Structure 1
Amino acid sequence: MSLSRRKTLALLGGGSILAATGAGAYAVTRMPRTALEPWAQAGSYAEPRMRALSYAILAPNPHNRQPWQVDLRKDGEVTLRVDTDRLLPHTDPFSRQITIGLGCFLELMTLAAAEQGYGVDLDLFPDGEDPTTLDTRRVAVARFTEGTGIAAPDLFGQVMQRRSLKEPFDTEQTVDQATLDEVLGVATLSQVAGSVVPRDIAELRALSHEALRIEIETPHTYKESVDLFRIGRREVDASPDGIDFTGPMFEAMALTGTFTREGALDRSSMAYTEGLKAVFANTDTAMGHLWQVTPTNTRADQIAAGRDWLRLNLAATKVGLGMQPLSQALQEYPEMSALYTEVHDRLAPEGGTVQMFARIGYGPDIAQSPRWDVESKIVHA
């Protein structure tokens, strides 16, 4: 979890950090032990598919659910399926966002393979697709061919530094149009656009603020997020996915019971009210926005959007620009329907589906996100 949110939620702890002494004081300084190891292991495998997959698991994905499962039993191939236990039925009822995350995974795998000279041919949804849900059918079969990969070092070189920057941005540092254009220029599979015009920034800040408010104040969508809270290093190491809260302040609050999932759900609690202020500080400091549109909304479109989303993230990292997805207004549940229509009228006036929407700006360096190791994602169907 980010520094600014730590600072905000530190208010909730009161004297809990100062009260931690002896063994407790040592405990609050500990960081997750195993949850970040996959970052260090990336690229350490000799087998080409395993090497590519060791990077692919670092791809951005909704709520850090890491919904990928791979089968390597056929030589030279990676079969990708979705882990149906890792869907988001309340905020992502048709699994559109999960599919975009799978597209990010496939693109990062392809970029990593290309660095070793391997080309990857993707056969998407070979068993057919259901636009309303994801199931156990194959999402993709990826075939690796030696000697056909075209490396993209400018993008792949940013993989280890890429983050989803969930911090308030520096409102004194503007984003210039040339920087935005450089980022947008790497997309090849979807329509991308953006704006750093002050009037657009103000209006889109307000829209994304309201969408976030709706998601949080809608009980079933907010609880879906809270259920995925990982509070303190022990929880993060045990389940290195979801929404992590680590570092001395959160360790102290975990030890003292000051910050709990139950407290976060209580709208009268300081955990709820201060947490709300913390996330609004992100939407309200956007210094520009970018978005992706596809003409239709097939599963292949969603995969394509994910592949471009990964490339946009890497391009932003290269120029030092922070990005954070603000997907709330794009979510397809009844309480969000009015804003869903508004954002499509604004960002896709000619029709199509807005697949991703993000704020951009400059902010601090942040830590890596927890990950399950690559071996845990290899299954046999």
Structure 2
Amino acid sequence: MGTEPLDPGTAMAAYAAPPPRGAAFDAWRTWESRDGADGVIAAGILAANARNVQPWRFTVGDHSTRIDVYADLDRRQGALDPFDRELYVGLGCALENMVLAARARGHRPELSLMPDPARPEHAATLRLTPGERVPSELYDAIPHRRTNRGPFLRQSLPRPLLDEIAALAGDDSGGPDLLWFADGEGREVVARLLVEATEAVIADEGQSLAGHHWYRGTDREIERSRDGMTVDTQGMPPLMSTLGKRLPAPSRRTADRFWLRNTRTVHVATAAAFGMITVADSDDRAQRMRGGRLLQRIHLFATARQLAVGHLNMMTVRADRERELGLPPRFGKALEELVGDPGRQTLVTFRIGRPGRAAGTSPRRPVATVLGTDAG
């Protein structure tokens, strides 16, 4: 049997560091105080997203009963996400939080993906009609969820628990699905390929530069941008994080070497299992968002069970880069072999396990910054 859900006010909070001081972290503290459509959006902006680029913007219309969600194309990752895979996955994560929040707050949400084929940046429309309040442990987990880049305890997870997580995908044969690589040769292959893909990313000048663009090394940078990767979210021991914020920001190459070392010795070495979300067509924007919704559900379920999730998107990042540049599809073929089904494609990969230390809190842009005027 899977583990039982825990009281969200105590157990979940123990596995996430409290938000640091500063306006860049207010979104984590104030999200539940907002009402109506603004409250639903406030939940959405706390969702997981690659490199914390926060690729979303919103408008509210029809007397606050309609929220339109847009891809913020100014927040693309360039060479690290040449076909906007990660961008739309992140939007799907936000949509899952928004749907959960709408239900918990007494709305009946109706979600439409890609409602305007002529405007690919118009990702979704969420309509809110009155309904019963539907609380859930996933909703309760929203403010406690963090992406964890630190070491996990070297403990395996029971197969019934992994099956319980896989069931979050539902039984829609056309929707996203979840593969586990928890033991044996498959797990070893995934671990090796993740390290090799990281080596390939940092050897690619364009990808290395694109990644470093989102690093925020000082409190002033964090308060100004309210996005990106910070010292506190790198999974280091608290003392090292404190020292890291007092020292000059590392060079791009130093940061790359740190990432590679952590990938090899922490991320893959301590993972209890690797998960892979698959879809029928990883280029389809709607399927990307459906996969993102599943990824966020996994995050929240894990949080409620005192587990941790960390994104490991290096193989898909390299596969997309290979396709962009016309390179031999080394990682593209490797992903096909791992999936083993010509009708399914890898969307995202992650690791899961029991956290060895609390995860740091990432900055977030407030609702006022991501909310625009009604598009009509």
CA distance in 1, matches of 2:268, 2:331: 15
Q: Say if 2:113 is the partner of 1:124.
A: yes
Q: 1:291 to 1:170 in 2, by over 3 A?
A: same
Offset at residue 348 of structure 1 (A): 4.1
Q: 1:179 is matched with which residue?
A: 161
1:213 aligns with 2:183: no
1:294 aligns with 2:279: yes
TM-score (structure 2 length as normaliser):
0.83
What do the CA deviations read for 1:145-166 (whole angstroms, capped 9, x no partner)?
Answer: 11166x2512112112211111
1:327 lines up with 2:327 in the alignment: no
Where does 1:128-167 land on structure 2 (aligned, <5 Å)?
A: 128=117, 137-147=121-131, 151=134, 153-167=136-150
Counterpart in 1 of 2:5? Answer: none
Report the counterpart of residue 341 of structure 2 in structure 1.
349
Deviation at 1:122, TM superposition (A): 1.7
Q: Which residue of 27, 37, 44 corresponds with 1:49?
A: 37
- What's the counterpart of residue 18 of structure 1? none
* Number of residue equivalences: 337
For the 8 Å contact 2:271–2:352, the answer to whether it is kept is yes
Take 2:140 and 2:338, find their aligned partners in 1: how far apart are those partners? 35
Post-superposition Cα deviations, 1:171-228, rounded to whole Å, max 9, x if no partner, equal 2x11111111111111234111213224332221111111111112211111111111
Q: Is the 8 A contact 2:148 2:360 kept in 1?
A: no
Q: How does 1:211-360 map to 2 (within 5 A)?
A: 211-246=197-232, 249=240, 252-253=243-244, 255-257=246-248, 259-260=249-250, 263-265=251-253, 272-280=256-264, 281-297=266-282, 298-331=284-317, 332-334=320-322, 337-360=329-352
Paired residues of 1:293 and 1:348 also in contact (CA < 8 A): no
Structure showing greater radius of gyration is 1
> 1: distance between equivalents of 2:190 and 2:252?
27
Structure 1: distance between partners of 2:201 and 2:101: 35
Aligned residue among 364, 371, 374 for 1:378: 371
Structure 2 residue identity aligned to 1:95:
D
* Deviates further, 100-109 or 154-163: 154-163
Residues 1:87 and 2:76 are matched in the alignment: yes
Distance 1:32 1:279, change over 3 A: farther
Structure 1 residues 285, 254: CA separation in 2 closer, same or farther (over 3 Å shift)? closer
Q: Shift in Å at residue 316 of structure 1?
A: 1.4
Shift in Å, 1:81: 1.0
Q: How does 1:90-129 map to 2 (within 5 A)?
A: 90-128=79-117
CA separation in 1, counterparts of 2:29 and 2:193? 38
For structure 1, which runs of at least 5 residues remain unmatched after alignment?
Answer: 1-29
Query: Which runs of 5 or more structure 2 residues have no equivalent in the other structure?
Result: 1-18, 233-237
Give the structure-1-normalised TM-score.
0.82
Once residues 158 and 37 of structure 1 are traced to their aligned partners in structure 2, the CA distance between those partners, rounded to angstroms, is 17
Conserved 8 A contact 1:79-1:140 = yes
Q: Deviations over 1:97-139 (max 9, x none)?
A: 1101101111110100000121111222222168xxx5xx421
Aligned equivalents of 1:193 and 1:223: distance in 2? 32
How far has the Cα of 1:336 moved from its partner? 8.1
- Residues 214 and 336 in structure 1, CA contact (< 8 A), matched pair in contact too: no
